[in-house]
Amino acid sequence: MAAFREQFAKAKHIVVLTGAGVSAESGVPTFRGAGGFWRKYQAQDLATPEAFKRNPSLVWEFYHYRREVMLSKTPNPAHIAIAECEKRLAAQGRRIVVITQNIDELHERAGSKNILELHGNLFTTRCTKCKDVKVNKDSPICPALSGKGLPDADAPDARIPESELPRCMQQGCNGLLRPMLFGLENLWILRSWQKLIMNWKTVGTSSVVYPAAMFAPQVAARGVPVAEFNMEHTPVTHSLGFHFQGPAGVNVPIALAAHESEKLK
Ligand SMILES: NC(=O)c1ccc[n+]([C@@H]2O[C@H](COP(=O)([O-])OP(=O)(O)OC[C@H]3O[C@@H](n4cnc5c(N)ncnc54)[C@H](O)[C@@H]3O)[C@@H](O)[C@H]2O)c1
Ligand SMILES: [Zn+2]
């Protein structure tokens, strides 16, 4: 940890790449593991354009459930440490960007400013007809979803007709809205940011969801210091310089706390 903090204190441009693990201690279940099921479905099988095409009512129920759950969750010490570090470093002319695979907005709510959401977020909708993208925090997002979306394995499929699912409010459109889904929504971001990456650390991602998974080993191979914070070893741990095993809410605040040399500046 001391060696990491020493290196970190010298870094001017820092990327924090986060996945589901950074929000686990806020009570948001990760996809892999016990929390990964909704009804009898694997969460990652429902968050796709194919699943939406097959059964938009079911996918909306799943998103409705997660939107409502998020309203009761709050940022944990890892989100807060990252946000506070961004603010502190800004005053020193140093910069942090958070690239997150998460869709829960907890980085934003913790106060991070410089955030790129690779998969959009739970509160962003896209019109399947006119492609309009909007932030929508209505609870419920439409009357037909009220009381629906129960996660229990035996909960019935609500089979809501498309006309009663969330619809586009753009004048004259009324197209079916869909949530932001896994796939290619925001991945253009990676291309532009990859060029700017000077320093890189990674927090709580299992490094198995591509394309985000490949970045940490890639930058590490270029000699950039990379630290991984995870409960366990991942497929890329061996190729990274630092690995801090344990809860992000414990290790990230220690890692990002002000270094002695900063106080001298
Ligand atoms: N909160 C959310 O928005 C949310 C929740 C679930 C999944 N997802 C998305 O689904 C995809 C799944 O990929 P993924 O690799 O991020 O998630 P994942 O569920 O595959 O893996 C989570 C990783 O976090 C680690 N982890 C769990 N608890 C931790 C803790 N307290 N501290 C540190 N590490 C911890 C696990 O060991 C695991 O390696 C991603 O795109 C992810 O963003 C998002
Ligand atoms: Zn529209």
pLDDT, tens digit, 9 for 90 and up, residues 39-49: 999 877 888 88
Instruction: Report pLDDT for 202.
Output: 66
Helices in 47-187 by DSSP H: which ranges?
49-54, 56-70, 77-90, 106-110
Centre a 10 Å sphere on the Cβ of residue 224 and count the other Cβ atoms it contains. Answer: 18
**Below-50 pLDDT ranges, the chain:** 184
Distance in angstroms (rounded) separating the CA atoms of residues 165 and 260: 55
Instruction: Report pLDDT for 18.
Output: 92
Q: Ligand 1 — pocket residues by CB below 6 A?
A: 19-21, 23-25, 28, 30-32, 101-104, 119, 204-206, 208-209, 229-232, 234, 247-248
Assess whether 233 carries a catalytic annotation. no
Do you find a cis peptide bond into 143, omega within 30 degrees of 0?
A: no
Compute the CA torsion angle 5, 245, 25, 3 (nearest 10 deg).
Answer: 0
Taking the alpha carbons of 210, 212, 213, 215 in that order, is the dihedral positive or negative?
A: positive
Q: Which of 31, 119, 181 has the most ligand 1 atoms within 8 A of CB, as the residue to mutate? A: 31
Query: Is 249 annotated to bind ligand?
Result: no
Using CA positions, which residue lies closest to atom 6 of ligand 1? 30
Instruction: Report pLDDT for 105.
Output: 93
- Name the helix (H) or strand (E) containing 191: helix 188-194
CA of 30 to the centre of ligand 1 (A): 5
The CATH number of domain 1-256 is 3.40.50.1220: yes
Ion ligand 2: residue ranges with CB closer than 5 A: 127, 129-130, 132, 168, 170, 173, 175
Instruction: Report pLDDT for 205.
Output: 65
